[in-house]
Structure 1
């Protein structure tokens, strides 16, 4: 048996997780401190939360029609909520002190809620029954009722001030408040706490719809109750199972079998048709605090944090550590596309597990499945595809073979192109339009599967990563891992989008994927390989990339321009050995580092902000009013949700400085390690880059830089030697935001990210910003580092978030864009999936789950409409 299993996702909660209820698209969690929180099962983000109880929530129950949520707590209150709005509908309390209420079940047939309490009683309440204590009596409210012991008078006959209730008395959750009548209780239903209960039907041959209440208590008994005649005698005990010296902590039911989790570490299975014990499973690992039947398997959760899984023949099939503390809650939900099993514990986490066999899905189902996409991304990230080191060459080849098999399984024709010896292959995968037509457009999606390296922490060592960077950590609505954002996640989202449409016969265009494995190392051999296989790759009408990021963490963007770059090294060397500055230094002597300093100074103006290469500025386009308005619109859109932007004009100016003006950066000046502090080194080296703008070309700038340095060095005189190396260069790119491709992307983003789409038919109360940002401290992670300060801020709401994507430019460079445009005579567009805080190339790289899944939906719409 395995002791490790990866969850679909893990959520950090603000307190111990003591109850769970799974709806179709929402996970409700009852937490320590009285909070009921609602999390999206699509994005795993917090959607809403309410203060439901004064003390801890102990039980949650979702009714069979999924419109009512019941919560019970340590404050002796039963609350009923709308699952669509999380608005309170009922707040029920007992006529007398019953203690904590641990469990609850609801019969939609009779509209009666049953609940089990700390004092061993079982109570019930019929919703909308005007005879059933509907007139609230504040005197009996648990918040004001005096306890015989805890609220007794202290010495001298006075009450300790620390025992006094708050000025507002009990928490008023809202809704219809009612006191449950004293004759709606079965006192001493159990001799100890009533820990669990459920309603089952179909036990009686004469009426398949008649329900039976089953309860489990701390005294070790399981009781079956007849509930059909509550008004004329209350609950009627039908049968009971006795278990000595062991409490019944949890119950589950399937078919005619009842499953019970026991405090002695066993799980009991009973046949209710014959009223006999069938099997005892020795689960171990402490108490069996939870038991569920999921996908035909028995899943037991223990107080030591372990999950054990058994098949229908009661044979153990899996065992893994699920939590670092006690498992206190569990639930499962079976939907057509996925089956989810959820657990919660006192380690303040919720874990979600996929209990469906991946092999049982068809190719079409896999292409549509979020869980399958995650499973594929999880495997893809494990390949350490670091192109800058031959040490990982095998993993790069394994990764591209993995991608090729995936695309082939989805119906694409695939070919591997070799850029040369020592360079990872380029994958060409082609999905054909569903309808064969000469009018079908041809879309080329470019991406890369190689990554920047990240240190894998040794066991027991500290690391800047919160975990292994090459094993995905799904946490709080994000996937963490190297390459999830740059560029493995977006690649898979695009592949799954095309595959889904192709499987369903809805792919309106031919989609080709050109995925290289050397982008992070300079795309060695990429251009000649593409030129050599031009006919096999083409024809191409549109070029699409997803390798950039939003401007902040809130508003989707489309990138239509990027600066180019020229990387260079400058070396000055002397033919003499290292010298001593005291013995050999002279004012007229040309030391290599002195000469290098002069040359670098000649590239910049007096204040270091102006590039002084002759003719450099001549090719820079003048700023027009139309272009200036673009920057103003972007700044205006961000202004309302970003109070840290003090001036719209200044922010627009800063965008222009990063996007449409060039920049020269000196990255490093180095000399060989000096033997002493007075050494004159014989060699000095500098590395620099020049970011250039669309009206310039990389070749012209490289030649101008070289010519200027050579001319300036010649004027210095001396015997030193100058070496200039242009290590890499990329042309700038400026797309047309009015092109059909950009407009298709804009339309798809509006459809997918519109508030109406996001709401999903629910109207929960707002519990803060709906978009997790880098400033979220719930996971105690260090702040994310990103050039954009907007990544860690934002106060956008549904009302003030722009509904149109922002058309932006970027200051970075991607060499392939302008080359592919020229090579195939096609227009390109950049569709960023990631947020500004994704931390690409840095520690704890991540991508938001919602961004990845909605990115796929956007591309599906684009591939279906072009």
Structure 2
């Protein structure tokens, strides 16, 4: 199977791609006149370039081809508008912006039609392109011309801006015979307009469309002397190979002449019998993709045909990419890979694959060899092809790092591949595949939970930690305990708390993808558990592993990863108490990441959680279900008693009537009030959210009736013999969970006793959690604040949350240390809902933040 690393979707076809691997950018040209710019690190769409002027729809055109300069300073694009555009490309900024400027536009006075192929020859700053009218054109010294004072920036020189395409023409020397019209913006600053001389056109370079131009990108010393005919000098000559619909591949020599002129000569020709739709050069071989599914391989040294291959689908080959001896051919049915005598074919897209490009590891710094495919359907996908070329990615499972030891610089570079973001992604892919639903009684979920715990043990061990699994009851998921040893002589520790269990994904039909298959799409990870809590957990593990392997870890990092958090952390506290000696008495901080930003744009630090008391009330009679027509009004009914009981919990204004419910509440201090002001000043909140609502959710207790049901068939005439209701009470710092629970139970019993009913009442505690309030001014919060500012370029907001995490306050008390929460995802992550997701940029940034913080805390 060919695994997808990431996929983007666009409404129109992706016609061309070009990667800037050193700048970590992938450009995609579209059918609807756009160039999409993707960050290969975060997978975000960072910029969309709209071709042509906004008010001139006739200047828009499909982007049929693109190329680049070797130094990645310039992008060149061309297509259906007969223009060559040169774009100056900057570097991605820390906030994800990509500086791009259209530096120049080239045009020809000839009616050349669509431009199908385009290449830039760096040595002589020469652009060469092939056209619909069978001509091949070129322009030399283009970069120098852009900075020249003599060049024009009058946009009205472009053919499409002329008042009349027939009468408003130019004669020899590019002198206008008819005045141009006077548009609102006749010039564009820092933009050069270049007219390609008529002499720079090779008429009928092919007897058909010129679909492909490829440079012979090797040093002249490697080219055969036979190519240097007619007095050509090696040091002054560039070579290209063109391919056309006439079935021919032609080698052309571009040699420097007098006064910076260029002489072009045809030096070799190869007949492929079928139309040449695409080509790629891996010297000395030329690979030609042809009609009918054929690929022909030529030896350019000898001008001889080496081999002829054919795709099983026999569809036209529209793009070819080659890595070593592995050939990837794109066509209507997907991708065919040829290697020696093996043929592998896979339908990778929903429609015709129009473009392919291989992104090499040495350029991207990534663990995987990637294949980028652009399709007619508008999808642009990065595929992991390491397994197809014998370069299997190692995501932490086959390289031994010796526990409790440190690597020197050489050793670190060797183990870097198992610690990069691609390896972390593959680890998360595996974690998501485990169906670790802790609240389920299904055997598959129980087995997967155990397997996931064992898998985590392997990951920890391979990244350099010592790790063991601690049992929690006979049927509960084990606790993973792992330690990355610090090099300091002190025995102080940092504890990271997380969990590998999840809640059920529910109805798979409500998901856009399989919830147990990690989907990487449009800059997001999607799958059950990616944000709660497998994604943040993987980031923390790899952060600690990187620090350990580099030797920058001062204190021990201890991981406590449970498998029951979504089921009230059953057995967790007992296991910690039983194995307390493993943690010692010198834990400085407890860190965790199990919540989200308040919006989609502002990083946050969380310092407060509400506690929870979840209770089920059941009222029942000893009699069976009755008929309302026969027994209505004769007996006290359980449903009526339960309804009356629930009415005693709140007054008409919604105020909770449980004795002592509000007694211990404290007013917000001035610092908290200031934090709330900052939140409303900076966060992108929904207009319906008021400061009162936010303060109520974060700082005030609440009582909610979350479920009601009855026995029997549920029709209109049956009196149920039992009725149930579930209460969820959220408590805040200042309220004691045990005191509140006791007060609730006593109050319920007293109210029910006053009913003097023959029905019975059951009070069942489902789960409970203490509220937690951190210390946002402590040293750990300040370190994380600085690292968030460094990573995101913005101070985080200090927020609280209305939800609960059962074991945070317990760990603080049990370990005698302070807890700190650093949220990872955004407010739209859909944790516990359908299509749970996590933005990849957030995921990578939290790894960066934690890696630096672990060395400072």
TM-score, scaled relative to structure 2: 0.87
Structure 2 counterparts to residues 504-515 of structure 1, below 5 A: 504-515=550-561
Q: Which residue of 2 aligns with 1:595?
A: 641
Conserved? CA contact 2:370–2:384, under 8 Å: yes
Does structure 2 conserve the Cα–Cα contact (< 8 Å) formed by 1:52 and 1:79?
no
The structural deviation recorded for 1:738 is: 1.1
Aligned residue in 2 for 1:531: 577
**Counterpart in the other structure of 1:42:** 41
User: In the alignment, what sits opposite 2:605?
Assistant: 558
Higher relative contact order (CA 8 A, sep 6+): 1
**Correspondence 1:221 to 2:248:** yes
Give SS of 1:815's match.
Answer: coil
Q: CA deviation at 1:178?
A: 1.8
The 1-side partners of 2:306 and 2:149 are apart by 43
Q: Shift of the alpha carbon at 1:480?
A: 0.9
Compared CA separation, residues 444 and 11, structure 1 to 2 (3 A): same
Residue ranges of structure 1 left out of the alignment (5+ in a row): 152-164, 458-462, 755-802
Q: CA deviation at 1:824?
A: 0.5
Q: Corresponding residue for 1:436?
A: 488
For 1:610, the equivalent position in structure 2 comes to 655
Match of 2:88 in 1: 82
- Out of 831, 839, 842, the position equivalent to 2:822 is 831
2:348 aligns to what? 322
When structure 1 is superposed on structure 2, of 614-623 and 813-822 the one drifting more is 614-623
> Hey, what's the Cα distance between the residues in 1 that align with 2:323 and 2:372?
11
Counterparts of 1:428 and 1:628 in 2: how far apart (Å)?
A: 39
Q: CA deviation at 1:501?
A: 1.2
Partner of 1:781: none
| TM-aligned CA deviation for residue 167 of structure 1 | 8.9
Q: Which range moved further: 682-691 or 624-633?
A: 624-633
The 2-side partners of 1:139 and 1:695 are apart by 75
Could you say if the C-alpha distance between residues 114 and 28 of structure 1 is closer, same or farther in structure 2, counting changes exceeding 3 Å?
same
Among 381, 385, 391, the residue aligned to 1:351: 381
2:57 paired residue number = none
Separation of aligned partners in 2, 1:46 and 1:145 = 37
Q: Which residue, out of 729, 740, 747, partners 1:701? A: 740
| SS of equivalent to 2:72 | coil
The match for 1:748 is 787
Post-superposition Cα deviations, 1:100-156, rounded to whole Å, max 9, x if no partner, equal 0111111121111111111111111121357999697957714549778xx9xxxxx
Which residues of 2 match residues 151-230 of structure 1 at below 5 A? 175-200=191-216, 201-202=218-219, 203-204=223-224, 207=234, 210-229=237-256
How far apart are the structure 1 equivalents of 2:89 and 2:361?
A: 18
Between stretches 729-738 and 597-606, larger displacement belongs to 597-606
The verdict on how the C-alpha distance between 1:675 and 1:385 changes in structure 2, with shifts beyond 3 A counting, is: closer
Give, in whole Å, the separation in 1 of the partners of 2:32 and 2:719: 68
Does 1:415 pair with 2:476?
A: no
TM-aligned CA distance change 1:315 to 1:342, over 3 Å? same
2: CA distance between counterparts of 1:117 and 1:497? 51
Say if 1:586 and 1:390 are closer, same or farther in 2 by CA, change over 3 A.
closer
CA distance in 2, matches of 1:670, 1:487: 31
CA contact (8 A) 2:8 2:380 kept: yes
For residues 436-489 of structure 1, what are the alpha-carbon distances to aligned partners after superposition, in whole Å with 9 as ceiling and x for unaligned? Answer: 311x641111111111112575xxxxx111121101111100011111111111
- How far residue 835 of structure 1 moved from its aligned partner, in angstroms, is 0.6
1:818 aligns with 809
Partner of 1:686: 725
Distance 2:636 2:496 in 1: 53
Secondary structure of the structure 2 residue equivalent to 1:716:
coil
Distance 1:131 1:814, change over 3 A: closer
Matched, 1:486 2:532: yes
CA distance in 2, matches of 1:133, 1:655: 60
Aligned to 1:66: 72
Alignment check: 8 A CA contact 1:634 1:652 kept: no
For residue 668 of structure 2, the aligned residue among 620, 623, 626 is: 623
- Give the whole-Å Cα distance in 2 for the aligned partners of 1:283 and 1:132: 52
For residue 785 of structure 2, give the secondary structure of its aligned residue in structure 1: helix
Once residues 233 and 629 of structure 1 are traced to their aligned partners in structure 2, the CA distance between those partners, rounded to angstroms, is: 70
Q: SS state of the match for residue 71, structure 2?
A: coil
C-alpha separation in 1, matches of 2:844 and 2:272: 49
Of 737, 740, 755 in structure 2, the residue corresponding to residue 716 of structure 1 is 755
Give the length in aligned residue pairs. 782
Q: Which residue in the other structure is 2:800 paired with?
A: 809
Deviations 1:244-273 (A, max 9, x none): 2x1111111123111111122111111111
Q: 2:286 aligns with which of 232, 235, 258?
A: 258
**Aligned equivalents of 1:209 and 1:816: distance in 2?**
73
Q: Distance in 1 between matches of 2:710 and 2:480?
A: 42
Give the conservation status (yes or no) of the 8 Å contact 2:675–2:797. no
Equivalent residues of 1:97, 1:142 under 8 A apart: no
Give 1:168 shift.
9.0
1:98-177 alignment, distance < 5 Å: 98-126=112-140, 127=142, 128-129=144-145, 138=156, 141-144=159-162, 175-177=191-193
1:404 is paired with a residue of what secondary structure?
helix
Check if 1:55 corresponds to 2:41: no
**SS of alignment partner, residue 808 of structure 2:** helix
Cα offset, 1:208, TM superposition: 7.3
Q: Compute the displacement of 1:674 (Å).
A: 4.4
- The reply on whether 1:298 has 2:339 as its aligned counterpart is no
Please, which of 556, 560, 564 is the counterpart of residue 518 of structure 1? 564
Equivalent of 1:332, from 309, 334, 358?
358
CA distance in 2, matches of 1:849, 1:676: 49
Partner SS state of residue 105, structure 1: strand
Cα gap change, 1:806 to 1:561, in 2 (>3 Å): same
Instruction: Measure the CA separation in 1 of the matches of 2:723 and 2:700.
Output: 30
Given that 2:473 and 2:571 are in contact with CA atoms closer than 8 Å, whether structure 1 keeps it comes out as yes
Q: Distance in 2 between matches of 1:854 and 1:166?
A: 50
Secondary structure at the aligned position of 2:763 is classed as strand
Distance 1:481 1:241, change over 3 A: same
State the Cα distance separating 1:293 from its structure 2 match.
Answer: 1.8
Is 1:309–1:319's contact at 8 Å kept on the other side of the alignment?
Answer: yes
Counterpart Cα distance in 1 of 2:337 and 2:429:
23
Q: CA 1:143–1:329 in structure 2 vs 1: closer, same or farther (change >3 Å)? A: farther
Q: CA deviation at 1:318?
A: 3.8
Paired with 2:716 and 2:265, the residues of 1 have a C-alpha distance of 95
Alpha-carbon distance, 1:88 to partner: 1.0
Q: Using the TM superposition, name which of 314-323 and 702-711 deviates more.
A: 314-323
**1:734 alignment counterpart:** 773
Give the superposition deviation at 1:209: 7.9
The answer to whether structure 1 residue 548 and structure 2 residue 598 are counterparts is no
How far apart, CA to CA, are the structure 2 residues paired with 1:70 and 1:828? 53
CA contact 2:29–2:64 (8 Å) conserved in 1: yes
What SS is found at the alignment partner of 1:603?
Answer: coil
Is the 2:159–2:165 contact (alpha carbons within 8 Å) kept by the matching residues of 1? no
* Whole-Å separation in 2 of the counterparts to 1:265 and 1:678: 71
Is the contact made by 2:153 and 2:187 (CA closer than 8 Å) also made in structure 1?
A: no
- After superposition, the Cα gap between the structure-2 partners of 1:137 and 1:753, relative to the gap in structure 1 and judged at 3 Å, is closer
Q: What TM-score results when the alignment is normalised by the length of structure 1?
A: 0.86
Superposition map of 1:423-462 within 5 A: 423-433=476-486, 435-438=487-490, 441-455=492-506, 457=508
Shift of 1:354: 2.7
Q: Which of these residues, 526, 535, 548, is aligned with residue 502 of structure 1? A: 548
CA contact (8 A) 1:35 1:50 kept: yes
Alignment check: 8 A CA contact 1:133 1:180 kept: no
Map of 1:26 onto structure 2: 25
